[in-house]
Structure 1
């Protein structure tokens, strides 16, 4: 295989996934962007079912083209779905992150071109932080493998509008906040805005809500009230059987 493809990652519990429909939609949408052809939903479901058991596991579903030719990257004849399962990673309860003026290639796609994000994570770790937060042109976009949101003093949940991966967990939380009647909005967030927020949170499919306690030299208290609201919003969507 060459370094060309896309993927999604999900938490599977007893054969069920919260937000499964969105993961399947992502895989099909990204297949059109990356390969110029769609991906049958049942093929993905069958591949996942063949890889999982009854235990709680993390599943990474990667889409590649066996006949992809990097010298002539046209539309491939077929796509393959590769599913890896592993124990859910033990994520730290909170995050301290360092900003980096970095932007992923094709940020709307969860693609396998991950060298840049892991290099930025490595630099952040070497500097004493847990992870990297991308802020190209001083505008906050996304974390290395997660989305970010903030709470302002009025209680509004703020999502950055800079180009970033449309995360499944972020979408579940946004829809849940709307159903709960909790105000949220998407707008530009610059580095100068960071000190004006009450709290910040990272979200992804394997760790839906994690408080961020530090971004560069801006510190945030752990906001249990807002974390509870975000988790409740996320969990409003029922799990779906694969």
Structure 2
């Protein structure tokens, strides 16, 4: 962990900040520029100050020393003077970095349950995750692996910590409801364009999910993962889509951590 004991106490006790989770490999990071842009953009919303990308690069480089790569590196932005009595005139944020082993893709396609839920400020990757984690817990108690969020009209937005895409056999469809603009989703969209595969963003409702051939989760740490079922709609294994997503992913090269 990169950070002083006082800083860790601040992050733990003052649940106010933003973060990004980065898959760091020995030869760099896919989408590093997007991760740094996200940290800076979100910090301006949360704190009123941006974050210097070169500082983050250097701190991540320091934090991974001695760790096995690839690694799951979480960079959390926080400020030392935030309190319920003081949320104006905040100090520029610093970062705390946690290095964890990489999470692996599940051995079997996950089954997900829909739930009416919307994250606060869905466009920001912020640290307010209690309600999100509780939704995952409720889905697991019901016998599912994860949760997919919708609004009261059944319009699909995003998964718990992932974006969702659907495949009709010729193009990929991404729901256009308010959701976190995921780094992996952006990289996959760029890769699909490189491969000449059309994709689009449009409204997708629960009533539509049975009309697609396949569905998948998009996450920067584990990459794209086929979904086995949404509620009672099951999807057959789709090796063609899995190969397509992997090829799209590989079209985007890793960026060196240090320039």
Which bracket does the TM-score occupy, shorter chain normalised? over 0.9
- 1:177 partner SS: helix
Q: Aligned partners of 1:26 and 1:47: how far apart in 2?
A: 17
Counterpart in the other structure of 2:252: 237
After alignment, is 228-237 or 184-193 more displaced?
Answer: 228-237
Q: Deviations over 1:125-168 (max 9, x none)?
A: 11110000001221111100001000114x11000000000000
Mapped partners of 2:37, 2:180: distance in 1 = 14
Is 1:9 aligned to 2:21, yes or no?
Answer: yes
User: 1:56 and 1:161 mapped to 2: Cα distance?
Assistant: 32
Superposition pairs for residues 151-170 of structure 1, below 5 Å? Answer: 151-153=167-169, 155-170=170-185
Matches within 5 A, 1:1-80: 1=10, 2-14=14-26, 16-53=28-65, 55-80=69-94
Q: Hey, what does 2:161 align to over in structure 1?
A: 145
Runs of at least 4 residues off by over 6 Å: none
Any unmatched runs of 5+ in structure 1?
none
**Is 1:98 paired with 2:113?**
yes
Secondary structure of the corresponding residue to residue 141 of structure 1:
strand
CA–CA separation in structure 1 for the residues paired with 2:92 and 2:176: 35
What is the number of equivalent residue pairs in this alignment? 241
Encode CA deviations 1:28-72: one digit per residue, 9 max, x unaligned.
Answer: 000111111111111111110110136221100000011112223
Q: Which residue matches 2:140?
A: 125
Q: Distance in 2 between matches of 1:13 and 1:6?
A: 23
Matched with 2:101 is: 87
Cα displacement string for residues 112-132 of structure 1 (whole angstroms, at most 9, x for unaligned residues): 000011000000111110000
Kept in 1, the 8 Å contact 2:192–2:198? The answer is yes
Matches within 5 A, 1:197-208: 197-208=212-223
Is residue 225 of structure 1 aligned with residue 237 of structure 2? no
User: 1:15·1:52 contact (CA, 8 Å) conserved in 2?
Assistant: no
Cα deviations by residue, 1:1-30 (Å, 9 ceiling, x for unpaired): 210000000111115111111000000000
TM-score (norm 1): 0.97
Give the gaps of 5 or more residues in structure 2.
1-9
